[in-house]
A = this chain, B = another copy of it.
Amino acid sequence: MNHRTALDPETLTPSARRILITAAALFYDNGIAAVGVDRIAADSGVTKRTLYNRFGSKETLVATYLLERDRRWRALVERRVHRSARATERLLAPFEALGEWTVQHPRGCAFVNALAELPDPAHPAHRVIIEEKQWLRALFEQAAEEAGAERPDLLAARLYFVHEGALTAQATAPDLDAVEIATDLAHLLVRTAV
């Protein structure tokens, strides 16, 4: 029952769902290595046996936690993307979504934070993290093309940096209104590039 990849967060038993919700909060708030499986099981109101029956290993639980975060974030952004008629609006969708997102996630990017603790590329969470970042960059780049930017890859990279910087700044510079400043800057960059 030792999994090498993340589980599908959609098809979990009720207990597994509770475990995942509990683990997500604990991992994000305290760091991954700092949280033991005993604590996760206890806080979920579940025995450790159940945790291992459902997830097989802590590695898999971590990967599933990040995959779940990824799904939620993508859904939030894509809802706004599909609502936007103009490509320039789609370029700004991740920044608009950031406003909702950071309210519940003030400790910076869960993926960046996790990567800091998981240097091993063989860890099943690794690919989840890398793919999340690739997805965001690809979204920027496609919208940049559709908006008619001269250098879509360059505009995408710029927006990506601003986005990541604002997300990180939530944790390191809480006195800034990072989302507002970043969104405003994104507008400027889009205007300049198209």
A interface vs B, CB < 8 Å?
29-31, 33-34, 107-109, 111-119, 129-130, 133-134, 137, 154, 157-158, 160-166, 168-169, 171-173, 176, 178, 181-182, 185, 188, 192
Contact = CB atoms under 8 A, between A and B. Distances in A.
Contact of A188 (B118, B172, B192): B192
Contacts of A182: 161
Nearest to A130: B172
29 contacts: A31-B117, A33-B34, A34-B117, A107-B116, A107-B119, A108-B115, A108-B116, A111-B172, A112-B112, A112-B168, A112-B172, A114-B116, A115-B172, A117-B117, A130-B172, A133-B173, A134-B173, A137-B173, A157-B169, A157-B178, A157-B181, A160-B165, A161-B178, A162-B162, A164-B165, A165-B165, A165-B168, A168-B168, A192-B192
Contact of A112 (B34, B117, B130, B171): B171
B30 A172 contact: no
